Amino acid sequence: MPGFPTAMAMWIHGARAVLMKELRMEWRSRHAINLLFMFVLSSLLLVVFALGTGQIEPPLQAALLWIVIVFSAAVGLGRSFLAEEEQGTLLLLQVNVPGSQVLAGKLAFNLVLIMAVMSVTVVAFMGLMGMRIVHAGLLLATLGLGSVGLAGATTLLGALIAKASARGPLLPVLLFPMLSPLFLSVVRATQEALTEGATWSGSATDLTALVGFAGVVNTAAFLLFEYVWTD
Amino acid sequence: MTTPVRSFRPPTFPILLALLMAAITLAPATMAQDAPKREGIATGFDSIWTGANIPTQEATGLERIMLSDDKILVVLGVVLIIWFGIIGFLLRNDRRIGQLERELENHRSDF
Amino acid sequence: MNRRYTLIRNVVFVWMTLMILGAFLLNIPRINILEHTARNLYFHVPMWFTMMAAVLVSAWYSARHLKTGSVESDIRALQSARVATLFGVLGLATGILWSRFTWYVGTDVWWNFDPRQTMAAVQLLIYGAYFVLRSSFDEPVRRGRIAAVYNLFAMITVPFLLYILPRQRASLHPGADGNPAFDEITAPVMRLVFYPAVLGFIGLFWVLYTQRVRMAHIKNRLTSNPEL
């Protein structure tokens, strides 16, 4: 019987195996990443067409940035468990890997996807809408914390939806109400990072709320996932 | 070989409880820091709410009715809303009981 | 017929009648602007308390359902969520009416994104999603489990609104920053009615919820499907 460090190392090993499998699958088809990029680009174009060429104020920029990110997350991230169910690989995974490791792997994969979407969106906003970043550190911290919270929520909800018999566009319906605290604080912190004279202390409360939200959502996801997985 | 892997589980429940407790206890402290400030202790209660500058006009139609008799009609409206809500709930219950009765009939005729 | 249920139901009905009489007949100190609408304290505020109680009951039975897998717990979680929705909607509607004709006279403000209003609205949206999620399952066992997971998962995010909302909008509610606390503005005679009103409405919740649970039991006996 190996000790605690060995068990933990093996847990991490299992989670990494799931992550690598997801990445490899994605690399072969590039389905999710193409879907996400197309969604981001087309919604951005719509925003730019609708608003014309005039200069847009930072509050509006922050709101639009996060609307694009959150909507593309709701569209593109619910797939991972659904694909297992459709391809019939679910049982294989259930037999070979314990639930918490599967969740950890899928969560890491979704985190990678969200971060890719975020970087594309931010770069596109800077290019197309003249977004000026005043406080880069604050913006990075906000994006990072936001993506962790978003990944935790979408991964567990994706697992729930994969079990439903009538799927349809369920993920946005389930996701948006519980995302409201994240959305509000992330938009406020981004506004702060985009306006002149931004400081860390200016968004201390928002960052605390984000840390708490990300922590609670992810631990709750691990706690509740067992009940979804052993079905 | 697989048993030790299965035996390790992230200690989620205690972490979750601790985080939620911390969040709920910290909230009032952070709230007080920089909420929109207003002067006077009862500002919100003895004038039009000062949190926003909303253009006001003369009381008209519906308002004149609601404000008469020291605004007792507002209380009436609130009580009526609650009463109608409960009536609506009871009506829905009624419909469900009707469905159950029909299902019971179907059940009987099966035998 | 359950004796305990009948007893509590009758007590609640008498209790509420007395409460309503007290609410309208007792003299209360006059405050400018508030006038008689101060009496709404007995009707609007208990809606919020009752909704909180119903939300907690629903969460408790969702957790129980995950632990034990009993159909009973699933029924109770769903039905208390239904009644919580009723009281949440009533709380929002009464709040809108009260504020519109008290603090927003002469304006067109019906909805002001008051922190508590927003929190109640978010909780109602979560329950809306919960009901939608339930309707997309055919098999009762799986439906109960997944719905319980969503109920708990979505609910724990609501407390974080306490951090963000009070900084965006000032509140009309007592106890919020800059407003007097509940103790300072509520006359003793009003507390005489207010606390019984909270108890009475929670009792009313219990009566409505128990009726629905009994109906769901019958439905389950008849069709092996507790979904009402």
Residue A150, SS3 per DSSP: helix
Report pLDDT for B5. 47
| Nearest C-alpha neighbor of A205 from the set B2, C27, B29, C33 | B29
Q: Say which of C129, C136, C148 has its CB closest to residue A177.
A: C129
Q: How far apart are CA A78 and CA A160, in angstroms?
A: 9
CB contact under 8 A, B16 and A14: no
- Closest residue in B to A8 (Cα) is B8
Give Cβ neighbours of residue C24 (< 8 Å, ≥ 6 apart).
B75, C39
Overall residue count recorded for chain A in this entry: 231
pLDDT tens-digit series, residues C2-53: 888 999 999 999 999 999 998 888 888 777 777 788 888 899 999 999 999 9
Q: What is the pLDDT of residues C98-116, one digit of tens each?
A: 888 887 777 777 787 788 8
Query: Average pLDDT, whole number, for chain A?
Result: 86
Q: Rounded distance, CA A51 to CA C121, Å? A: 30
In single-letter form, the type of residue at position C122 comes to: V
Q: Which pLDDT score, from 0 to 100, does residue B2 have?
A: 46
CB C66 within 8 A of CB A220: no
Q: What is the mean pLDDT of residues A32-36?
A: 84
Chain A interface test: which of C153, C156, C163 (most A C-beta within 10 Å): C153
Q: What is the pLDDT of residues B19-65, one digit of tens each?
A: 887 877 777 666 555 544 444 334 444 444 444 455 566 666 777 77
Q: Do C136 and A228 touch (CB under 8 A)?
A: no
- CB within 8 Å: C86 and B35: no
Among B45, B47, B48, the residue with its CB nearest the CB of C185 is B45
- Which residues of C make CB contacts under 8 Å with A? 66, 122, 125-126, 128-129, 132-133, 135-139, 142, 145-146, 148-150, 152-154, 156-158, 160-161, 163-165, 167-168
User: Which residue in the set C145, C148, C154 is minimally distant from A178, CB to CB?
Assistant: C154
Nearest partner of A173 among A69, A44, A78, A107, judged by Cα: A78
Domain boundaries, chain B: 68-111
Q: What is the per-residue pLDDT across C181-198, written as a single tens digit (0 to 9) for each?
A: 676 667 777 888 889 999
Which of B7, B9, B23 lies nearest to residue A216, judging by beta carbons?
B23
pLDDT range class, residue B4, cuts 50, 70, 90: very low
Q: Supply the pLDDT for residue A69.
A: 92
CA dist list (Å): C170 to B31, B38, C40, C114, C164: 11, 9, 21, 7, 12
pLDDT tens-digit readout, C40-86: 889 999 999 999 999 999 999 999 999 998 999 999 999 999 999 99
Q: What is the ipTM of this complex?
A: 0.89
Residue C211's closest chain B neighbor by CA? B93
Domain ranges of chain C: 3-223
pLDDT at A142 over 90: yes
* Contacts across the A-B interface (CB distance below 8 Å): 48
Residues of C with Cβ-Cβ distance to A187 under 8 angstroms: none
Indicate the length of chain C as a whole number. Answer: 228
Considering only A152-156, A166-170, C17-21, which range has the smallest mean pLDDT?
A166-170
What is the predicted pLDDT for the residue at C47?
Answer: 93
Give the pLDDT of residue A203: 84
Helix boundaries (H) for chain C: 3-25, 44-68, 71-100, 115-135, 140-155, 161-168, 182-185, 188-223
Task: Tell me the chain A residues in contact with residue B7 when contact means C-beta distances shorter than 8 Å.
Answer: 7
The predicted-structure confidence for A69-101, as pLDDT tens digits, reads as follows 999 888 888 777 877 777 777 777 877 788 888
Chains sharing 3 or more CB pairs under 8 A with chain C: A, B
CB contact under 8 A, C97 and B81: yes
Tell me which range, A207-211, B105-109, C53-57, is most confidently predicted by mean pLDDT: C53-57
Nearest CA in chain B to C160: B23
